[in-house]
Chains A and B, each alone.
Chain A
Amino acid sequence: MIAGRGRQRIRPPRRSLQGDSDIDFENTWGTIASAFREIHTKNASRLSYEELYRHAYRIVLKKKGEELYKRVKEFEHEWLSNEVRGSIQALFSPNLLADTQSLGGTTTNERRVAGEKFLRGLKQAWGDHQVCMSMLADVLMYMDRVYCQDHRRPSIYTAAMFLFRDDILNSPTSDQDGRVVLSLLNHVILDQIQMERDGDIVDKHLIKSCVYMLENLYEDEMESEDSRLYSLSFEREYLDSSREFYRQESELMLRDSDAGAYCRRARQRIREEEDRCRSTLLEVTAPKIQKVVEDELVKNRIRELVDMESGVRFMIDNDRVEELNLIFDLNARVDPKKGELTRSIQKRIVDLGNDINSAALVASQAPAAATAESGDKGKGAAQEKSLNQQTVAAIKWVEDVLRLKDKFDSIWRGSFNEDQPLQTALTRSFADFINSTTFPRSSEYISLFIDENMKKGIKGKTEAEVDAVLEKAIILLRYIQDKDLFERYYKKHLCRRLLMNKSISNDVEKHMISKMKIELGNNFTMKLEAMFKDMTISEELTDGFKKHVAGLGDKDPKRIELGINVLTSMTWPLETMGNDDDEESKRPKCNFPTSIERIKLGFEKYYNEKHSGRKLTWLVNMGTADIKATFPRVPNKDGTFRERRHDLNVSTYGMIILLLFNDLPEGHSLTFEEIQAHTNIPHNDLVRNLQSLAVAPGKRILLKEPMSKDVKATDRFLFNESFNGKFVKIKIGVVASGNKVESDRERRETEKKNDDSRAFQIEAAVVRIMKQRKELLHQQLVSETLAQLAAQFKPEVNMIKKRIESLIEREYLERMEGAKTDMYRYLA
């Protein structure tokens, strides 16, 4: 811009601006120094800033900046050493100093007062120093700007701060004492904080200003962030002493108080320290002290805390929701996985679960032991009783487990903030004890529980309640590892319910199935659904056959009605139904009376017309029959005669037996062997049916000679003509046909069958995998097989190995020659 203004000369500046060239440095400095003294004694109003500034300006222009800088520093050094230090030292009361050597001798209150006086004095000195130095610095602004920047010196203000650090804080407290003021300051602050921790009220504001002082002073000239006196000197000591304090406190509290109180205290301490950082110290310390407190009070102690007598176990048992929440919170602070808490919770679950398991085992075995002692007499009844007992035990087991589950769920909701990892841990623990190898019955028990509810439990309940019950069962089902075993039991129980019409509501049954379908997938429920389908088809068949018979025009008044269930042999667990004998393979044809035989043939013909190529096998042992029985007149008490009719509901075998007596002349009897010869009923079934017809009290349609509970081959039976029943309809159940817990032998059988079917499933899985991969390492094959079957059950590795061997034998696979580790190839 100047260039555009033509050729005017720029004159040199006049001399006057530079002032007298020959100013005397010493004189000028003398003026400045005396002015500084005035500033330090707060008499600035008499001074002219402009004059002082001009003096300094001139000195700097004279290239005497370095000299000036040095003089100012010297001046400040002298001032601090002579004036300020003295006033600070005057604050060291005997109380304060005494305390630094020994803790005893002075009361807390005296110490606090002395400490506050010291802090106040120091704060005052610091404040004055700051104000004066900023005035000085402004007067010497020109020097700062020109000299300090050019020569890379710290500004005079900064330099003066260092002087304060060196001359005041790092000066010895007294001539004899080696300690410096800084360490005394740290000590006093810590002492004050300690007093606050012990419940005293201290001047937080005062401490905070001293802390600010430490924050604004640096250890070295670089003023780097981490060389603040605060972090280098005070904070370190603070953390150390806090660590020590909390270590002792935690030890004391663990010894003297219970876990709940400990937790409350710890939480309170953590909050206190947080507040302290905000109100008394600096926020930057918060995470550090937090860690110290957490380390000392929680991390190093959590194990002891959890295992205390009044620890987690006690809290769980006594439903101390709030305390558990505290522990959870504390543990979460130091360990996002909450390892210790999880560990102890899991242990408690497994312990409680195992208690339930063994209680169930004891309950189911105790009566069994009693049976062995009671000898032969009444063995059957006792056995039945023991089976009942076992069922009760099973139901109790399920309910106990559910109660346990409810308990932990509510704790989880109430105390653990619905923490996800903890829920996983809970689930795992439940699965652990439910699938415990020492307790193999959980699948059976759960199925029994459902069975019991389907038959009785849900009577008179609302839909919502029923749903809750089913949901519970599903929850347990989720824990079951060997789903295939459960399926087997469920099928068996369902089968009984369906065929014997024991189920209260078909809708509920279907509802349950659909729930299982959601939970376990289509595969699982396919066969169960097929069972329902069979039932529906059978109803149609029955109706159809009825019409068919009516259509034949055979108006026989004695016509027998037939209700039939046609069951697909693959889907129904026929082998587990009723027939305990091992002769089912050569199931003997039982001889039907002609009237029955005729209708049976009729149905077979009708069925074969509808579905050609299917073979019907009659499961006589599963059927029931309604018979109208007429008993001869007997004289009543008043002398009249009355004919008595009863509708008897008996098993099919029972019906066959009774029909034999129809053809018998009055008073004649049949021996056991004769009955067997006539009917060809399997021995066991015959015994049971005769027992229920002749032995069960109140329902003796037949009389037995000799009268005893056991049926022997030589026993004779005759029609009980004087039978007198209270009801018109009488149901004669067959002994031990209810749904009970399995006996040991049955269980072994079930397990064997289960193993067999598992073997097939494993083979299928192996082949599926190999077909896809063609070649695979042994280890990989095993793990993939495990993964595939996880939804159904957890096979043993040994079993997989055996299946692989067998597949190799049958040339589905081959071992690869020359491979380092075992490897297989699929043979198409």
Chain B
Amino acid sequence: MAEKQLSEYVTLVSSDGFEFRILRSAACIAKTVQKALDPAYGFKEDQENKMTLSNINGVVLEKVCEYLYYNQKYAKAKDVPDPDIPPELCLELLIAADYLQC
């Protein structure tokens, strides 16, 4: 399994069935995702290049994906503009962040 070519994109699935195909490098900013997809371990997620997050719904997961890209884009930049976060999602996002460790 170590020889397997890693796909560029991975799929994150929300609890309500939405699928988000995002760059592996962005997805792996979340430690939980990174470990789940770790080719050295060979869990089911790694075999399928797909991770189902059964306690995050599509709205929140979209925001999460947005954030992952945002994080990747500005990783080394200064004077970063604030991300656009709707207040009503704040708490759910925090919990998701805690879960995903990002």
Contacts and interface: CB of A to CB of B under 8 A. Distances in A.
Determine if chain A interacts with chain B. yes
Contacts, number: 81
A406 B52 CA distance: 88
Contact of A53 (B36, B47, B57, B85): B36
Interface string A26-58: 000000000000000000111111110110010
A1 B85 contact: yes
B14 to A, nearest CB: 12
B29 interface: no
B74 interface: no
Contacts of B35: 49, 53, 138-139, 141
Nearest to B94: A13
A11 B60 CA distance: 14
B41 A49 contact: yes
A47 B91 contact: no
A461 interface: no
Interface string B9-44: 000000100000000000000011001101011111
A48 B44 contact: yes
A139 B44 CA distance: 13
A19 interface: yes
B44 A19 contact: no
Nearest to A2: B87
B65 interface: no
B54 A50 contact: yes
Interface in B25-80: 31-32, 35-36, 38, 40-47, 51-57
Nearest to A12: B91
Nearest to A46: B44
Contact of B87 (A8, A45, A54): A8
B51 A50 contact: yes
A146 to B, nearest CB: 9
A49 B44 contact: yes
Contacts of B41: 44, 49, 135, 138
Among the interface residues A2, A8, A12, A49, which one has the most CB atoms of the partner chain B within 10 A? A49
A8 B91 contact: no
Contacts of A2: 85, 87, 90
A1 B45 contact: no
A interface residue count range (under 10 / 10 to 19 / 20 to 34 / 35 or more): 20 to 34
B44 A47 contact: yes
A43 to B, nearest CB: 9
A45 B90 CA distance: 35
Size category, B interface:
20 to 34
B37 to A, nearest CB: 8
Nearest to A137: B35
A45 B43 contact: yes
Contact of B31 (A10, A16, A141): A141
B27 to A, nearest CB: 13
B55 A19 contact: yes
A11 B89 CA distance: 8
A47 B43 CA distance: 6
Contacts of A10: 87-88, 90-91
A541 to B, nearest CB: 97
Contacts of B90: 2, 10
B15 A16 contact: yes
B43 A49 contact: yes
Contacts of B92: 13-14, 17
B1 to A, nearest CB: 8
Interface string B79-99: 000100101101110011001
A46 B42 CA distance: 9
A5 interface: yes
A637 interface: no
Given A138-B38, A141-B32, A11 B91 contact: yes
Interface in A291-345: none
Nearest to A7: B87
Nearest to B87: A8
A51 B54 CA distance: 8
A139 to B, nearest CB: 8
A611 interface: no
Contacts of A18: 55
Given A17-B95, A44-B42, A46-B44, A53 B88 contact: no
A19 B57 CA distance: 12
A503 B43 CA distance: 103
Give the interface centre of A1, A17, A46 by most chain B CB atoms within 10 Å. A17
A145 interface: yes
Contacts of A142: 32, 99, 101
A787 B95 CA distance: 87
B85 A17 contact: no
Contacts of A54: 54-55
A645 to B, nearest CB: 116
Contacts of B31: 141
A9 interface: yes
Contacts of A44: 41-43
A5 B90 CA distance: 12
B35 to A, nearest CB: 4
Q: Which of B46, B54, B87 has the most CB of A within 10 A?
A: B87
Nearest to B82: A1
A9 B88 CA distance: 7
A40 to B, nearest CB: 13
A654 B94 CA distance: 130
A145 B101 contact: yes
Contact of B56 (A1, A9, A17): A17
A65 to B, nearest CB: 14
A138 B28 CA distance: 14
Interface in A211-250: none
A708 to B, nearest CB: 118
Given A53-B36, A141-B35, A45 B47 contact: yes
Find the residue from A1, A10, A46, A53 having the highest chain B CB count within 10 A. A53
A92 B42 CA distance: 33
Nearest to A51: B54
Contact of B95 (A13, A45, A139): A13
Given A12-B91, A145-B101, A50 B36 contact: yes
B99 A57 contact: yes
Nearest to B93: A13
A135 B92 CA distance: 28
Given A1-B85, A2-B87, A44-B42, A49 B36 contact: yes
Which 9 A-B pairs have CB atoms at the shortest separation, nearest pair first? A49-B36, A49-B43, A138-B35, A48-B44, A8-B87, A135-B41, A44-B42, A45-B42, A49-B45
Interface of B: 15, 31-32, 35-36, 38, 40-47, 51-57, 82, 85, 87-88, 90-92, 95-96, 99, 101
7 contacts: A10-B88, A11-B91, A45-B44, A46-B44, A50-B54, A138-B38, A138-B41
Given A12-B91, A18-B55, A54-B54, 19 more contacts: A1-B85, A5-B87, A8-B88, A10-B87, A10-B90, A16-B15, A17-B55, A17-B56, A19-B55, A49-B36, A49-B46, A50-B36, A50-B45, A50-B51, A53-B32, A138-B35, A138-B41, A141-B35, A145-B101
